[in-house]
């Protein structure tokens, strides 16, 4: 029987991020994907003057209806819940530290959290650093694990200028894993959502945690690389649609 997940995050009418990428990517991986939109934005937040309609008051009514219909899910995937995301040492537009603390409470209930270093810094209170060693990453992982999740994986970890990847910790066994790809010399909005969506799809399809993150790292890097090397691509996201066939092949191996 096909697996089913629900993802709870916003949707941008223009811009490749959040539900705009989660729905097609996870569906293409062979997983039924239900959604709860937490907000509708005219564009993603890297555009100036975007509009935003908050829909968080609909989360409870939708959930209650699903309960009455006895609709169940194999996993719950949360993303942009209306207020907390951060990168490069600062919060994204429209977010505040008070909500960051509330998001930390939510993460304490999760089986797996996948913050970048900036988000991890806000959640743990540890200083954000652009230059660090393995002991710093381990301290961050341990601090995150103390919040309550079973698995913690930090993204955007880099110990060499030309490599970037992830480092994870199983808080119950103390086991760690890491995986790195070549760094593409550019950045695009929404690649974190592409990465996280791929992880969710791979895990629900039965891949192990290290294998799921390996697939996600490779797919995200390949997609960034394709977009970077293709003339005339747009500036507000990566061309994940073009690289989806390779992801589907990989998930079915």
What pLDDT score was predicted for residue 236?
Answer: 80
In this predicted structure, the answer to whether residue 75 has a pLDDT above a threshold of 70 is yes
Q: What is the pLDDT of residues 109-125, one digit of tens each?
A: 899 999 999 889 888 88
The rounded Cα 237 to chain-centroid distance in angstroms is: 15
What is the pLDDT at residue 105? 79
184: pLDDT strictly greater than 80: yes
The whole-number average pLDDT for the span 163-178 is 96
- Cα gap 252→206, rounded to integer Å: 11
pLDDT beyond 60 at 138: yes
Tokens of 58: 């609909």
Query: What pLDDT is recorded for position 38?
Result: 92
Q: Which residue has the higher pLDDT, 155 or 235?
A: 155
Whether 56 shows a pLDDT value over 70: the answer reads: yes
> Is residue 83's pLDDT more than 50?
no
Pick the residue with more confidence: 38 or 92? 38
Token pair, residue 5, equals 């997940």
pLDDT tens digits along 6-55: 999 999 999 999 999 999 999 999 999 999 999 999 998 888 999 999 99
Residue ranges of E strands in 15-159: 32-43, 52-54, 75-78, 86-87, 90-91, 112-113, 151-157
Q: Give the pLDDT mean for 191-195.
A: 94
Reported pTM:
0.90
3-state secondary structure of 220: helix
Is it the case that residue 72 has pLDDT exceeding 60?
yes
Burial degree of 232 (CB within 10 A; 0-12, 13-18, 19+): exposed
Instruction: Please state, rounded to an integer, the average pLDDT across all residues of the chain.
Output: 90
pLDDT the model gives residue 6: 98
Candidates 160, 167, 165, 163; CA nearest to 131 is 160
């Amino acid at each position: 029987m096909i697996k089913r997940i629900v993802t709870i995050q916003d949707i941008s009418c223009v811009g490749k991020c959040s539900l705009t990428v989660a729905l097609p990517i996870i569906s293409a991986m062979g997983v039924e994907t239900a959604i709860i939109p937490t907000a509708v934005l005219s564009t993603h937040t890297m555009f100036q003057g975007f509009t935003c309609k908050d829909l968080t008051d609909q989360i409870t009514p939708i959930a209650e209806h699903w309960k009455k219909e006895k609709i169940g899910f194999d996993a719950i995937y949360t993303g942009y819940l209306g207020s907390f995301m951060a990168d490069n040492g600062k919060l994204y537009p429209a977010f505040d530290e008070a909500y960051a603390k509330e998001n930390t409470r939510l993460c304490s209930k999760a089986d797996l959290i996948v913050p970048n270093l900036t988000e991890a810094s806000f959640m743990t209170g540890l200083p954000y650093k652009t230059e660090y060693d393995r002991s710093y990453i381990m301290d961050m992982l341990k601090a995150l694990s103390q919040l309550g999740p079973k698995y913690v994986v930090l993204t955007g970890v880099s110990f060499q200028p030309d490599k970037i990847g992830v480092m994870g910790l199983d808080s119950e066994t103390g086991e760690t894993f890491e995986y790195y790809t070549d760094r593409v010399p550019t950045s695009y909005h929404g690649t974190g959502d592409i990465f996280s969506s791929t992880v969710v799809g791979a895990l629900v399809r039965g891949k192990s945690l290290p294998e799921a993150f390996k697939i996600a790292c490779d797919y995200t890097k390949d997609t960034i690389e394709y977009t970077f090397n293709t003339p005339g691509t747009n500036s507000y996201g990566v061309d994940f649609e073009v690289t989806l066939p390779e992801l589907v092949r990989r998930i079915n191996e």
